[in-house]
């Protein structure tokens, strides 16, 4: 019978050993060769693999939950995983808050000292949540893809970049890669919709036009040049018009009034659904990822619709773009301050100095030499070596927890100091009413964090609801 303390101690020691073995456990990327005969991969010469974000549920303090609440309403951390063609991990970045968009996590991975490196002329597959750009190959948003019936290979043009040995250090849109994607699209069957229009100022948007608008919005969102805190910068409508004209042959959509009006409609619908799934009255609501619909029992729907009549259509209506719009319109206050790779953890241990002696650990060269010389390692020696090599993990966890607690307290203190100014900036309350609201919500750290997570346009109504006692 082992005590809980002993189990926890050695469990953490083993985790630390795994972290120190990241150089051996993570696979080096290997591109698809030009002479590949693999039916799944031969079309994609120089492809290194694929990457995406995945959410792992975590437990965090109540005040931190808004940052970690993802678009499905779960409290999670967003983990970036990069895999080879045979499903082996190449790179991992952990620690970003669940509310952070995948594109933002990828930009962080690219810029890090121990970050993701993509040599020029090579690329990874990504989904439509990322920007189609040099080094990252995104699909057409909302389209099904199949190989051509004629069996012809899809040849991707080689890079003419002279700096072939350098790595990509930023995520920027690329006309060259968009053209390459168009070349590949020539070998793909895609369903299309007929364009319909009512008039210049009022028109019916087809499914294809909506798909291309969402795709363009995601590109602008991940680009960074047109994205401000929770909204887009001036000039984004013209950029969207340009993108739609490139994506849709003969497109007659204009920045104003067409695109501007459609974006307002999408944002309004998104906010209605988002409030149902993540708002203060979200108990009982869920999200069906397959049908793209809000789910709830009839009593929950009836009670909610009585005070939120605008939500009634979504009782029967699907909202297919909710996941994408969460990345675009969600007010991302995630900071990524706790994000790190296995290499970062090992580097911190060496810089800070742990309760371990580096000479106690065998180097990669030693391991290789031992393997070459057929050295016989007895199980007893292996167990002793493993125990000695992992003794610092508990100390590492303790230090990390202390840093996390300190960061949380500092962030909360900053919010308390900014609360009065934020109420003054975003609400129409009188000075006395602002003082009352401040006193009511500052007593609950969860309310403070939730207030800062709201879009500016909703803070006034929320503060008035707190003052009236209806929230």
| Residue that is last in its domain, among 122, 137, 152 | 137
Q: Are residues 101 and 21 in the same domain?
A: yes
**310 and 409 both lie in a single domain:** no
Of 104-118, 238-252, 334-348, 423-437, the least confident: 334-348
Q: Domain range holding 416? A: 402-468
| 243 domain-assigned | yes
Q: How far is CA 354 from CA 8, 13, 40, 412, in A?
A: 19, 13, 47, 30
pLDDT band of residue 158 (cuts 50, 70, 90) is: very low
Across the strands, what pairs with 136? 124, 133
Q: Is the pLDDT of residue 460 over 50?
A: yes
Is the pLDDT at 83 greater than 90? The verdict is yes
State yes or no: pLDDT of 8 exceeds 80: no
Q: Which of 116-125, 314-323, 370-379, 405-414 has the lowest mean pLDDT?
A: 370-379
Q: What rounded mean pLDDT belongs to the chain?
A: 74
Residue 219 has pLDDT above 90, yes or no: no
Q: Do 11 and 130 reside in the same domain of the chain?
A: yes
Does residue 142 fall inside a structural domain? no
**Over residues 353-362, mean pLDDT:** 43
| Total number of domains in the chain | 3
Same domain as 307, residue 215:
yes
229 CB-near residues (< 8 Å, 6+ apart): 331
Query: Residue 399: pLDDT above 70?
Result: no
Final residue in a domain of this structure, among 137, 154, 169: 137
Let me know: does 143 contact 191? Beta carbons within 8 Å. yes
Same domain (yes/no): 8, 127: yes
Q: 214 with 323, same domain?
A: yes
Identify the pLDDT of residue 367.
35
CB 254 within 8 A of CB 248: no
The residue among 97 and 374 whose pLDDT is bigger is 97
Do 286 and 293 meet the contact criterion of CB atoms below 8 Å apart? no
% the chain with pLDDT above 90: 8
User: At 47, is the pLDDT very low, low, confident or very high (cuts 50, 70, 90)?
Assistant: very high
Q: Give Dmax over CA atoms of the chain in angstroms.
A: 81
Domain-terminating residue out of 331, 361, 384: 331
In this predicted structure, the answer to whether residue 259 has a pLDDT above a threshold of 60 is yes
The answer as to whether 108 is a domain residue is yes
Residues 6+ apart with CB under 8 A from 30: 48, 84, 85
Whether residue 326 is found in the same domain as residue 420: no
Pair (20, 120) in one structural domain: yes
Whether the per-residue pLDDT at 268 is higher than 80: the answer is yes
Q: What does the angle CA 5 – CA 23 – CA 337 come to, to the nearest 5 degrees?
A: 65
Would you say residue 349 lies in a domain?
no
* 358 found inside a domain: no
Task: Provide the pLDDT for residue 55.
Answer: 92
130 in the same domain as 16: yes
Nearest 5°: the CA angle 424, 426, 432 is 35
With respect to residue 370, please indicate whether it lies within any of the assigned structural domains.
Answer: no
Chain CA centroid to CA 380, Å: 44
3-state SS assignment for residue 81: strand
What is the model's pTM?
A: 0.44
> What pLDDT is attached to residue 147?
46
Higher pLDDT, 10 or 136: 136
Residue 57, pLDDT score: 92
- How many Å apart are CA 167 and CA 274, to the nearest integer? 39
CA dist 204 and 261 (Å) reads 11
Within a domain: residue 81?
yes
Q: What is the pLDDT of residue 330?
A: 67
Whether 112 and 221 share a structural domain: no
The more confident residue out of 24 and 460 is 460
Residue 238 within any structural domain of the chain: yes
């Amino acid at each position: 019978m082992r005590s809980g303390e002993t189990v926890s101690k050695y469990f953490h020691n083993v985790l630390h050993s795994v972290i120190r073995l990241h150089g051996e456990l993570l696979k080096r990327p290997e591109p698809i060769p030009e002479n590949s005969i693999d039916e799944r991969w031969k079309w994609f010469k120089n492809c290194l693999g694929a990457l995406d974000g995945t959410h792992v549920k975590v437990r965090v303090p109540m005040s931190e939950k808004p940052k970690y609440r993802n678009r499905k309403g779960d409290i999670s951390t967003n983990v970036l995983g990069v895999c080879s063609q045979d499903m082996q991990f190449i790179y991992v970045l952990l620690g970003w808050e669940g509310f952070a968009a995948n594109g933002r996590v990828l930009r962080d991975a690219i810029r890090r000292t121990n970050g993701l490196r993509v040599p020029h002329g090579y690329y990874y597959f990504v989904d439509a949540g990322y920007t189609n750009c040099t080094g990252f190959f995104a699909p057409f948003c909302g389209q099904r893809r199949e190989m051509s019936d004629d069996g012809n290979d899809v040849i991707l043009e080689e890079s003419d970049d002279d700096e072939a040995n350098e790595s990509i250090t930023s995520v920027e849109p690329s006309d060259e890669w968009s053209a390459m994607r168009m070349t590949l699209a020539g070998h793909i069957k895609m369903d299309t919709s007929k364009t319909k229009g009512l008039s210049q100022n009022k028109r019916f948007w087809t499914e294809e036009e909506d798909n291309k608008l969402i795709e363009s919005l995601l590109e602008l969102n991940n680009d960074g040049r047109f994205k401000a805190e929770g909204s887009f910068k001036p000039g984004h409508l013209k950029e969207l018009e340009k993108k739609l004209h490139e994506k849709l042959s003969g497109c007659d959509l204009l920045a104003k009034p067409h695109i501007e009006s459609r974006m307002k409609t999408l944002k309004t619908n998104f906010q209605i659904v988002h409030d149902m799934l993540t708002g203060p009255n979200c108990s009982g609501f869920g999200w069906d990822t397959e049908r793209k619909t809000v789910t709830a029992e009839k009593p929950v729907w009836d009670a909610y619709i009585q005070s939120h009549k605008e939500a009634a259509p979504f009782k029967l209506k699907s909202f297919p773009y909710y996941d994408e719009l969460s990345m675009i319109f969600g007010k991302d206050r995630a900071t990524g301050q706790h994000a790190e790779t296995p290499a970062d953890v090992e580097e911190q241990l060496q810089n800070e100095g742990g309760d371990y002696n580096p000479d106690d650990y065998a180097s990669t060269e030693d391991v290789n030499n031992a393997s070459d010389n057929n050295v016989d390692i007895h199980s007893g020696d292996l167990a002793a070596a493993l125990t000695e090599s992992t003794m610092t993990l508990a100390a590492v966890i303790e230090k990390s927890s202390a840093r996390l607690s300190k960061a949380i307290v500092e962030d909360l203190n900053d919010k308390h100091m900014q609360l009065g100014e934020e109420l003054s900036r975003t609400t129409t309350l009188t000075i006395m009413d602002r003082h009352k609201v401040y006193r009511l919500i500052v007593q609950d750290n969860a309310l403070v964090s939730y207030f800062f997570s709201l879009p500016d346009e909703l803070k006034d109504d929320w503060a008035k609801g707190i003052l009236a006692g209806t929230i």
